[in-house]
Amino acid sequence: MKILIVFGTRPEAIKMAPLYHELCQSELSLFQSYQGVEDSKNKFEVKVCVTAQHRKMLDQVLDFFEIVPDYDLNLMQPNQTLNGLSANILLKMDEVLIQEKPDLVLVHGDTTTSSMVALAAFHLGIKVGHVEAGLRTFNKHAPFPEEINRQITSRIADIHFTPTEQANRNLLKEGILQKNIVETGNTGIDALFWTLNKMETKNYTNPEIEQLKNSLPTNKKIVLVTGHRRENFGEGFQNLCQALLKISEREDVVIIYPVHLNPNVKEIVYELLSNKVNIQLIPPVSYPTFVWLMQQSYLIVSDSGGIQEEAPSLGKPVLVTRNVSERPEGVAAGFSTIVGTDKNEIIKNIQDIMDNFEGFGLQKNPYGDGNASRKIIEYLLNQA
């Protein structure tokens, strides 16, 4: 079976990396082989194509996860519109698909890359597998444009690899046949464990982490903050910053904020939070460095979907600065709390966790146990 894996952003790359390594059974991979797959090496021919919808942040992940793409479309352009990006992906993927003629194209999640690559494959009669399928908010404007990207991909995909039972139900309600749905857990948890294992090896060094170790106070609780959602541009980020200013008045807290490079985020954050006591604004960090920061944190405040999935495995509570989340399982289990971008709501919830949080006990991460890639391959082996 000839498989083409396509992704374009940092989150996609992180979550597809463990699946790529499992498929390749690369000798350089740190993944352990498992019973029943040792004989699969000759059953898959795997190629990787990146659209580079995110360039610099994508390259960091490719390097860390030891992935060399067979095709790099390098489509990132300054101030690129969604329509311009979509058109370029369709045009360039046409060339790749015609040349490679894969049996199956694997796309991930909810990006413009995933939906447009799926459409390009459909136009050529090529089967599509959707990894992390079935997530929904049922609000086409939140997250924008990701919610519609997911729904478009679901209408096209032939195989739906879902992370949770709720995702299964979402697809079934939309008329997707049960036989085409495969619940696997989320490959993002595979990537998290892969990263933790690699960071614990004797030869691993990370100057970025060493620098942070020297700058972070050891006697304060770390509040780790991220933000990038389009729906929060403007007033949403202003409210978040005002809430963080209030929290920074606590003597037992330090706020660490790797600031997204998008000018709609960066300009507001630096204007309101620069040179403030107990607030450290830093440039975006590499994935392993961010995993390390999550480990050190007491609380995470974020609008990221991936963090909502990863944090439970690290025992860290998350305040979600969105009004709705396509990841309700973490909320239902108590790992995440949706607070929106209301200043007072953010302050109240941060204060409550800082003063009263006692851990999650033995609760399991609802997004998986690190075996999602294995389950996907077991399914594909039965189809090969």
Q: Answer yes or no: are the C-beta atoms of 314 and 299 closer than 8 Å.
A: no
Residue 50 carries which DSSP code?
A: E
The question of whether 132 is a catalytic residue gets the answer yes
Catalytic residue from among 230, 231, 250, 342: 230
Catalytic residue from among 12, 100, 110, 329: 110
Catalytic residue from among 136, 229, 260, 374: 260
Position of tokens 């908010």? 137
The question of whether 110 is a catalytic residue gets the answer yes
Q: Answer yes or no: are the C-beta atoms of 2 and 48 closer than 8 Å.
A: no
The DSSP result for 251-302, as a single string, is TTEEEEEE--S-HHHHHHHHHHHTT-TTEEEE----HHHHHHHHHH-SEEEE
The question of whether 229 is a catalytic residue gets the answer no
Range list of β-strands (E), 54-99? 71-72
Catalytic residue from among 66, 228, 231, 378: 228
Separation CA 338–CA 323 (nearest Å): 7
Give the 3-state secondary structure of residue 167: helix
Radius of gyration of the chain (CA): 20
Which amino acid is present at 18? P
Q: What is the largest CA-CA distance in the chain?
A: 61
Q: Which residues pair with 254 in a beta bridge?
A: 222
Catalytic residue from among 12, 132, 309, 329: 132
Separation CA 106–CA 127 (nearest Å): 9
The DSSP result for 171-209, as a single string, is HHHTT--GGGEEE---HHHHHHHHHHHHHTSTT---HHH
The question of whether 326 is a catalytic residue gets the answer no
Which amino acid is present at 330? G
Chain Cα centroid distance, residue 171: 21
The question of whether 228 is a catalytic residue gets the answer yes
Catalytic residue from among 12, 22, 100, 146: 146
Give the 3-state secondary structure of residue 161: strand
For residue 143, cis peptide bond before it (omega within 30 degrees of 0): yes
Please give the positions annotated as active site.
110, 132, 146, 228, 230, 260
